[in-house]
Structure 1
Amino acid sequence: MIETFTLHLADHILFLLLGILLPWRTVGAQKKLKDLSFTSRMRQSLYIGNSIGLWVMALIVLGLWWWLDRPFSSLGLQWTPSTGNLWSVGFVIAFLIIYVIDAVRDISTPKGRAQVEEKLSKELGILPRKFKSYLFFIPLAFSAGICEEIVFRGFFIGYFVSLFGTGIGSQILAVAIPAVIFGLVHTYQGIQAIYKIVGMAVIFGTIYVLTGSIYLLIILHVVVDLIGGAVGLFFPEPEQPDGPVEDWEYPNPTWEEE
């Protein structure tokens, strides 16, 4: 069971910023990313910029907890008895096995390879296609695993449970709303992928509600991202775009729409 906390005005402001305004702006920025033909250098710049942005969000949440003198355990940063029990660990292992099987199927069958190649060219152009780019992707995977779990599970779910109450219906809403937001900030992966991501976020949120810890989720999230990022390495780099790519800069997701 997750720990609730007494809500402060700062919690509402922070949710407005991280849960509504930033995702809305991120979706707008991702539309621009789909129109770009990425080079390795562009991807590396994007990974660095996203990693920094993720840590800024997580540090803001952690800073709020420090300022309000709250226990960090109420963000799920604790190891509870149910975290390491057979059910929790077994569920995580089963999830990883299914995910790996699905990823292998995508790159090993002609139909799966064709579908992945189409997504890589239309929606997932930001995935690394060379090992050097993947080395830059690894810190991003760890940043996403740590920071997104702190924000989307630790803060968002705790916020809604503290807001709505600890009843079953309230907990369902507390898991579902952040899951939808989590899916929206990954719109660059395509509509079909959003359904999978929302489903994964619901599973992650349920594990958090049942265990009160995000530690297993951080590990699971990092591994899933590392596997997902490695998929692009099995496909050739597309042709380089025309134009002076050396002048390309990381597209800040907070830019104004033109």
Structure 2
Amino acid sequence: MRRHELTDAEWNALRPHLPSGAVGRRRPDDRAVLNGIVWKIRTGVPWRDVPERYGSWQTLYTRFRRWALDGTFTEMLDAIRADKDAAGDIDWLVAVDSTIVRAHQHATGAKRGTMSGNETADHALGRSRGGLTTKIHPACGGGGRPLGFFLTGGNVNDCTRLEALLATVRVARRGPGRPRTRPDHVLGDKGYSSRKIRSHLRRRGIPHTIPERRDQVNNLLRKGKRGGRPPLFDPEAYKRRNVVERCFNRLKQFRGIAARYDKTTSSFTATITLASILLWLRRPL
């Protein structure tokens, strides 16, 4: 096994979820192709520069795009999380946050979006002072592994996407029963301190620990009794919010995520999904 390649245990976990090849000429070995894809996102090199030992770069790219679009990577991640949940290996204390990824010039130039007339609207790219960026919004379990994630442009406010982010938390069960979608507890920083978010979490019956912003504290003090009681805040629980920061650190060890090179949202989503698969197959934080 070479550096950045799948171990035997990782390959055995992923092999059952790969689609079988169509009848015809012999296809390249799936393990070599998957190793080439992992090597590419781990190092961040262009597809043409992937070593020849993994096969033709056109084959690697074609297989990556096919598995990204047909949901193969998503099915892998769902199956692995379901196995972890059945084994009791998921901590449902969920921390939310976001991290910004700078878009390389190779990530620009995709086909113009049609929803809002903005050429980056369909590809989770936003223009800010630093140029084009993408924001990754993950919901991380207590082990620092993503239970769900959501992509937006880098200029999007975190609090406007929390409901969409929590909707991506969906872990299937081994056996009868609906997928689990409700965390035991949600931890967020001051960027998520809003009346709308707290009301949404209360409606879903999700306890949460989110500190108030200074202006909100001052408004309550100014109103006195009319301002009502401040929301409860557990400083000991809040100390565990750092798992999402450590998740960012592990994801950005993949240079294909530390800087965005993928033009389309589907490709960049597949890159993050594959990295998340590897995080779930390895030891939790």
Q: TM-score range by the shorter chain?
A: under 0.3
TM-score, structure 2 length as denominator? 0.26
Greater gyration radius:
2
Higher relative contact order, chain-length normalized (CA < 8 Å, sep 6+): 1
TM-score (norm 1): 0.28
- Greater strand proportion: 2
